[in-house]
Structure 1
Amino acid sequence: MAASKGKKEQDRTPPPLPEPLAVPVADSHTHLDMQSGTPAEGLARAAAVGVTTVVQVGCDVPGSRWAADLAAEHEQVHAAVALHPNEAPRIFLGDPDGWSGQRRTPGGQDALDEALAEIDRLAALPHVLAVGETGLDYFRTGPEGVDLQKESFRRHIEIAKRHGKALVIHDRDAHQDVIALLLEEGAPERTVFHCYSGDAAMARTCAEHGWYLSFAGPVTYKANHALREALTATPLDRVLIETDAPFLTPHPYRGRPNAPYLIPVTLRAMADHLALGEDELATAIAANTARAFGY
């Protein structure tokens, strides 16, 4: 007789395709390179439910090259290139456990400068529409990495402004410092807070500066009342939507693999909260995303 299991196994099967949206929208932040299946398969599933455009986001140099190459190959893909906030300390310290899994030797400032120079080169490409995800992350990188993160963030801001590209912000447990640094350096005209996680007061501050807030699966989680209050506080012309797939799968599929085709699940939850028709919200999000990324 087999031993009974102590707890229920987590369901890791892909969620079913939702009902298609009548008004096509974009997934403003995804990682197709981290998802199962081929990019072409993922794009086809997304298109089948009305997600006709995606922004493929790089987190390190190899991932940013991959994003740029994919955008060059597929008209419906736009690329964002950057060193993730946690990547700058890894490069500087030679940590082998970066996003790409490539083993490094300690390189110090020269290695970081070389990586940022490659991001600069990629950002100049016409099919690369954004610099990001960049910003600050105080959850995974401790105090010893803060100065390196800030240096990397400042240099990404400069790259975005020089090339006229959107800036995509990763902000985790660093709200005040992210906003302070953006104001100190001068944020690009088009700045997007990816997977917005602040409160309503911060949303109003972002709106005052004309920044865009992109909402992901967590806005659908029952306990996230403050995040839904932030959505309510965000002007409709500054709201974007994303999956951050394969992470942050929306309710009721939390814990299962995320992908761009699940955007309609999050969008419908947002529309219900805002008391808007899904077509009205989708129309606004589609226009906002095109304006934010300049396509």
Structure 2
Amino acid sequence: MPYVDTHCHLDHHFDLSAATQVARAVDAGVTTLITVGTDMASSAQAVATARRHDGVYAAVGVHPNDAMEATPQVLEVIARLATEPEVVAIGETGLDYHHDHTTPEQQDAAFRAHIDLAKEHDKTLVIHCRDAWDDLLAVLEDQGAPGRVVMHCFSGDVDVVARCADRGWFLSFAGNLTFKNAGDLRAAAAAAPAELLLTETDSPYLTPHPHRGGSNDPSYLPLTLRALAATQGRDPEDLEEQVLANAVRAFALPVD
């Protein structure tokens, strides 16, 4: 059963080319990858990378830390990219109050624009949230969420798990699930419904244990899957099958 990396940044890696990362991933059994843009240029690059590699799809959008760049002109380019067949999602978008690169008002406006793009183009909405859960969920409630929502690199608590699960939103866990100090995150993962679980690397960031300290890449995805299975008390192979089915639903992926 193949693994799925629902969120990576193949064109952001510090050392490895996208082609090398894809080859390493396939060798590790990771045969489906979604490479994610964070601004106009990297979104266009994500589409180009997905076009060159079998099993690779793209997400396009402007990261909340770059929300000041989500001008009407840039969003028009994102909208055009969303029509490309390789694109399965809009994002990553959302709110990030941990950093102060952009104001909450700029982030709110960009987030709402991305929500509208996801609905207009029937794409999955990939959400980044850090230290902003109440405001983020309030925006989704006010604006109206699209049909498919993925909480990328989930960082909420058990209460946020319940609030997302009630709405059928997918929860994607990354390599930080393996960190020694991630007890609260593992508790949240244990509470998440299996039918809403996804796995990702967020590579080249959040490198899982025991490789923490080096650059991440999609070949390390099985480490996160095994950690997630342990939190759920599930057999890793069974959870692997579940996550694959979830990813197909979450991103409306073609089924061979």
Query: TM-score, with normalisation over the residues of structure 2?
Result: 0.96
Cross-structure match for 1:48: 27
2:88 to 97, 106, 129: 129
User: How far does the alpha carbon of each residue in 1:22-61 deviate from its partner, in whole angstroms, 9 at most, with x for none?
Assistant: x202100000111122211111110111100100000000
Instruction: Give 1:141 shift.
Output: 2.1
Matched, 1:286 2:230: no
Cross-structure match for 1:182: 140
User: How far does the alpha carbon of each residue in 1:32-91 deviate from its partner, in whole angstroms, 9 at most, with x for none?
Assistant: 1111222111111101111001000000000000011111222211000001011122x3
Query: % of aligned pairs identical?
Result: 46
Q: Distance in 1 between matches of 2:55 and 2:25?
A: 11
Between 1:66-75 and 1:190-199, the stretch displaced more is 66-75
Instruction: Give 1:139 shift.
Output: 1.5
Q: Give the letter aligned to residue 246 of structure 1.
A: P
Q: How does 1:186-265 map to 2 (within 5 A)?
A: 186-265=144-223
**Aligned residues of 2:187 and 2:231 also touching (Cα < 8 A):** no
Q: Distance in 2 between matches of 1:229 and 1:138?
A: 23
**Aligned CA-pair RMSD:** 1.1
Q: Distance in 1 between matches of 2:22 and 2:30?
A: 8
Q: How does 1:93-112 map to 2 (within 5 A)?
A: 112=71
Q: Distance in 2 between matches of 1:197 and 1:25?
A: 22
Instruction: Give 1:193 shift.
Output: 0.4
Instruction: Give 1:273 shift.
Output: 2.2
Q: How does 1:12-161 map to 2 (within 5 A)?
A: 23-35=1-13, 36-89=15-68, 91=69, 112-141=71-100, 145-161=103-119
Q: Give the letter aligned to residue 233 of structure 1.
A: A
Q: Distance in 1 between matches of 2:32 and 2:151?
A: 18
Cross-structure match for 2:131: 173
Q: Distance in 2 between matches of 1:45 and 1:208?
A: 37
Instruction: Give 1:237 shift.
Output: 0.5
Q: Give the letter aligned to residue 249 of structure 2.
A: R
Q: Distance in 2 between matches of 1:179 and 1:250?
A: 28
Local SS of the residue matching 2:147: coil
Instruction: Give 1:226 shift.
Output: 1.1
Q: Give the letter aligned to residue 12 of structure 2.
A: M
Q: Distance in 2 between matches of 1:188 and 1:252?
A: 37
Local SS of the residue matching 2:99: coil
User: How far does the alpha carbon of each residue in 1:134-163 deviate from its partner, in whole angstroms, 9 at most, with x for none?
Assistant: 001111226x61111110000000000010
**Consecutive unaligned residues in structure 1, runs of 5 or more:** 1-22, 93-111
Aligned residues: 252
**Which structure has the larger Rg?**
1
Local SS of the residue matching 1:140: coil
Q: Distance in 1 between matches of 2:240 and 2:225?
A: 7
Q: Distance in 1 between matches of 2:65 and 2:215?
A: 23
Instruction: Give 1:185 shift.
Output: 0.7
Local SS of the residue matching 1:86: helix
User: How far does the alpha carbon of each residue in 1:205-254 deviate from its partner, in whole angstroms, 9 at most, with x for none?
Assistant: 10000000000011111221111111111100000000000100111221
Q: Give the letter aligned to residue 113 of structure 2.
A: R
User: How far does the alpha carbon of each residue in 1:105-142 deviate from its partner, in whole angstroms, 9 at most, with x for none?
Assistant: xxxxxxx1111111111112121000000001111226
Q: Distance in 2 between matches of 1:225 and 1:290?
A: 29
